[in-house]
């Protein structure tokens, strides 16, 4: 069991403040803070409607800002505090960024109750590709494999 410290609570309160400020500015009710080595690296809020960008969730915006600030795509050792349980896209981004821990306040059930439901995405993930709502059609794999071979043979690649 992880012990939640008063400092953790303060970081979460900052994420909640970001969410509140976002609502006041016309954005979505979500905020996030990324901390590493006891220092806030980045903070941001949801700006989907403000930026006309469906990927501009608080967690993604904060990951982008943290990576820019740190000059790396690898946030190993960092912790994210998010005002709501991450959606599938944000959770994927958190894993890709290698963030070491997630703290969240509101649950995805709480989000669903105010109109932010992502259950359909979780349900889609469970279905075979051929049964998903959004058609997913493979094509030109043999041609595309050439790019993978180029990557595989590259000596100076920056692996991630």
Is 59 one of the annotated active-site residues of the chain? yes
* pLDDT confidence of residue 73: 97
DSSP letter assigned to residue 73: S
State the pLDDT confidence band at 108, using cuts at 50, 70 and 90. very high
> How far, in Å, CA of 126 to CA of 100, rounded?
26
> How far, in Å, CA of 90 to CA of 80, rounded?
11
Examine the pLDDT at 55 and tell me if it is beyond 90.
yes
Structure tokens at 16: 């909640």
Query: Tens digits of per-residue pLDDT, 20-50?
Result: 999 999 999 999 999 999 999 999 999 999 9
Q: Which of 6, 59, 113, 131 is catalytic?
A: 59
> How far, in Å, CA of 105 to CA of 82, rounded?
7
Query: Tens digits of per-residue pLDDT, 3-20?
Result: 999 999 999 999 999 999
CB of 47 closer than 8 Å to CB of 54: no
Query: Tens digits of per-residue pLDDT, 109-137?
Result: 999 999 998 989 999 999 999 999 999 98
> How far, in Å, CA of 116 to CA of 79, rounded?
24
């Amino acid at each position: 069991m992880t012990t939640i410290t008063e400092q953790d609570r303060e970081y979460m309160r900052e994420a909640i403040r970001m969410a509140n400020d976002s609502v006041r500015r016309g954005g979505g009710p979500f905020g996030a803070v990324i901390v590493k080595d006891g220092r806030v690296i980045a903070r941001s809020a949801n700006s989907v409607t403000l930026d006309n960008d469906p990927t501009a969730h608080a967690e993604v915006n904060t990951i982008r800002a943290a990576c820019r600030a740190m000059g790396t795509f690898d946030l190993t050792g960092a912790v994210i505090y998010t005002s709501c349980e991450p959606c599938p896209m944000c959770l994927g981004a958190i894993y890709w960024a290698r963030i070491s821990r997630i703290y969240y306040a509101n649950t995805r059930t709480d989000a669903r109750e105010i109109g932010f439901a992502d259950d359909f995405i979780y349900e889609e993930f469970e279905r075979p590709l051929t049964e998903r709502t959004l058609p997913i059609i493979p094509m030109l794999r043999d041609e595309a494999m050439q790019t993978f071979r180029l990557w595989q043979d590259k000596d100076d690649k920056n692996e991630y």
